[in-house]
């Protein structure tokens, strides 16, 4: 296994083109929410009275407005009353993340994936590292080949089209990235809309255009895309590509923070810490700093140490 593949496995599992719907829970799955973390173990508050068993597999879900990404895997080590203890085996967990617990053997794939070649699906998604792995960690040559094949076999699959755009983006082939991002974005793919906004904001392959960036961020944010809610909130607060509006900016930053986006949680904490656009509130600042720190966001940890507060 290459270093890149190990990093992909350890950071976040495969993000599929249709994405895993948190609401689609099979009869063999239970769900709950993470309420506490200690080392590589975490505690789950179950949504029902039924409990899993020791050894059952857990999928850790980063929820984005009804859809989610699998952020890691774990194994149940203890189950008592309505609280379950699990040990992380892949990826990471943070407080308030949702979990799905498979109570009988390995999870089966959703029927939404049945029309796609499992070999190519795995290869394209794995090599692309979508959507979380940093560009610098991607081996773009084999990733481009795998995702081009996936798009040829599934020409209407917005997820694969987005992934191909992302690989071209990573390899700085901006015109091709723009082409595929736009194609997926026009099909309503929120991550493609967000990345298209990024390219317009940064002037990558196009003239810098904050109004166009704002347009695409808004489309993604309206679908509950947390990174776009964050970016849109910052643009409203600073008057970039839109009339300055602190109220809308703060509302969007809060939406992103409530979905678990660490940089939004830190930003909100900072605003309450220094009274930046809001009434200064130390308790509220600490609350948001702690949420970000629980996801190992270093700036939040530094802020808590500066305040003399344990994270």
DSSP 38-67: ETTEEEEEESSS----TT-EEEEEEEETTE
Closest CA relative to residue 22, chosen from 2, 47, 40:
47
* Domain locations in the chain as residue ranges: 12-106
35 against 186, higher pLDDT: 186
| 31 within 8 A of 99, measured Cβ to Cβ | yes
pLDDT digits (tens, 9 = 90+) for 68-83: 556 667 888 888 765 6
Which run of H or of E encompasses 301?
helix 298-307
pLDDT digits (tens, 9 = 90+) for 168-180: 999 999 999 999 9
The CATH code of the domain at 12-106 is 2.40.10.170
Specify burial of residue 66 (Cβ count, 10 A radius: 0-12, 13-18, 19+): exposed
- Give the pLDDT confidence score for residue 298 in this predicted structure: 92
pLDDT digits (tens, 9 = 90+) for 109-166: 222 223 333 444 457 877 887 555 778 888 899 999 999 999 998 899 998 899 999 9
| 59 within 8 A of 199, measured Cβ to Cβ | no
């Amino acid at each position: 296994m290459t270093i890149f593949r190990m990093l992909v496995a350890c950071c976040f599992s495969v993000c599929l083109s249709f994405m895993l719907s948190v609401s689609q829970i099979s009869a063999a799955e239970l769900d709950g929410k993470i309420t506490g973390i200690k080392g590589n173990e975490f505690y789950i508050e179950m949504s029902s009275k039924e409990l899993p068993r020791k050894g059952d597999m857990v999928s850790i879900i980063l929820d984005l407005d009804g859809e989610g990404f699998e952020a890691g895997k774990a194994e149940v080590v203890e189950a008592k009353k309505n609280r379950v203890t699990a040990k992380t085996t892949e990826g990471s967990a943070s407080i308030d993340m949702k979990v799905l617990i498979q109570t009988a053997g390995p999870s089966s794939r959703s029927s939404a994936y049945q029309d796609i070649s499992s070999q190519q699906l795995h290869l394209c998604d794995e090599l692309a590292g979508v959507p979380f792995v940093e560009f610098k960690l991607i081996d773009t040559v084999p990733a481009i080949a795998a995702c081009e094949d996936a798009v040829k076999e599934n020409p209407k699959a917005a997820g694969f089209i987005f992934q191909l755009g992302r690989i071209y983006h990573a390899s700085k082939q901006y015109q091709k990235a723009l082409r595929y991002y736009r194609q997926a974005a026009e099909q309503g793919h929120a991550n493609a809309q967000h990345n298209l906004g990024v390219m317009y904001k940064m002037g990558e392959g196009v003239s810098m255009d904050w109004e166009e960036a704002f347009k695409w961020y808004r489309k993604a944010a309206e679908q509950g895309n947390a990174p776009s809610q964050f970016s849109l909130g910052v643009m409203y607060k600073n008057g970039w590509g839109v009339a300055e509006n602190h109220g809308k900016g703060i509302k969007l930053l809060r939406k992103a923070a409530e979905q678990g986006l660490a940089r939004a949680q830190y930003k909100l904490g900072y605003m309450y810490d220094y009274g930046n656009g809001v009434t200064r509130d130390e308790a509220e600042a600490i609350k948001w700093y702690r949420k970000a720190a629980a996801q190992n966001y270093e700036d939040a940890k530094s802020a808590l140490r500066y305040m003399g507060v344990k994270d």
